[in-house]
Chain A
Amino acid sequence: GAVVSQHPSWVICKSGTSVKIECRSLDFQATTMFWYRQFPKQSLMLMATSNEGSKATYEQGVEKDKFLINHASLTLSTLTVTSAHPEDSSFYICSAIQGELPHSPLHFGNGTRLTVT
C-alpha cells in the first residue's frame, strides 16, 4: 500500500520552456503533498508543501512564480517549472502523507530528473 506515482521519470527540455511534473497517490488520499529538490550527493531540500484546495506554502528562497504548484485533488499534485533554465536542472521528488506529521511517514514518488539544455 501507500504507492505514489510520479511522472515523468525524466525530461529534457530547452531553456525557456515549461515542464509539468505530476504526483499521484494511487491507493490513498493524501492530506498533504511535499515537493523536494535534490542535488547530486546532497540531502533533500523542501521546496513547498501543498494541501488540496489551498495555495501551496513555499520555503524561503523558492520562487512561487517559477515553481507553480497545483493540488487539484486529494490524489494529485502538479509542479510546473516555468521558463526553465539550466540551473533548474535537478532531481525533483514529490512525497505524500496519508495522515499528518509528526506521526505519519512520507511516501515518495520515483522522482523526476529534469535536464534543461
Chain B
Amino acid sequence: GQQVMQIPQYQHVQEGEDFTTYCNSSTTLSNIQWYKQRPGGHPVFLIQLVKSGEVKKQKRLTFQFGEAKKNSSLHITATQTTDVGTYFCAADSNYQLIWGAGTKLIIKP
C-alpha cells in the first residue's frame, strides 16, 4: 500500500535554530496534512496543502507542497521551547490518512 516516508526521526536543535522535517511519497498525493503532537498529548491539526507547489505560512512555520505533489516539508524558523513535540505529515489514500513516522523536535538544554 501507499507509504509516506518522513525524515528525520529526531532533530536536536539549539533554541533559536531552524528545524525542518520532510515527507516523501512514491505516488502523487491528492493533499497532505500536518499535525503536531506535544509530549503526552494528542495530535493537533496544523494545516492542509492541496495545490501543486503550494506554500503556506503560519508565523514561524512554513509548509510546502512539491510541484509533483509527491513531497512536502515543514520548516520552523528560530525554534522556541513551545515548538517542542512531534510533527506528523498525513496523506490521503482512498479516503484514509496514511501517517508519516513523525519527526521529534528536541530543544537542547
Contacts and interface: CB of A to CB of B under 8 A. Distances in A.
Interface string B85-109: 0001010100111011110100000
Given A100-B95, A101-B95, A102-B95, A43 B102 contact: yes
Q: Is the interface of A mostly helix, strand, loop or mixed?
A: loop
Interface string B71-93: 00000000000000000101010
A46 B99 CA distance: 9
Given A101-B92, A102-B92, A105-B33, A43 B42 contact: no
Interface in B36-50: 41-45, 48, 50
B2 interface: no
16 contacts: A43-B99, A93-B43, A101-B96, A105-B33, A105-B45, A105-B48, A106-B33, A106-B35, A106-B45, A106-B90, A107-B45, A108-B42, A109-B42, A110-B42, A111-B41, A111-B42
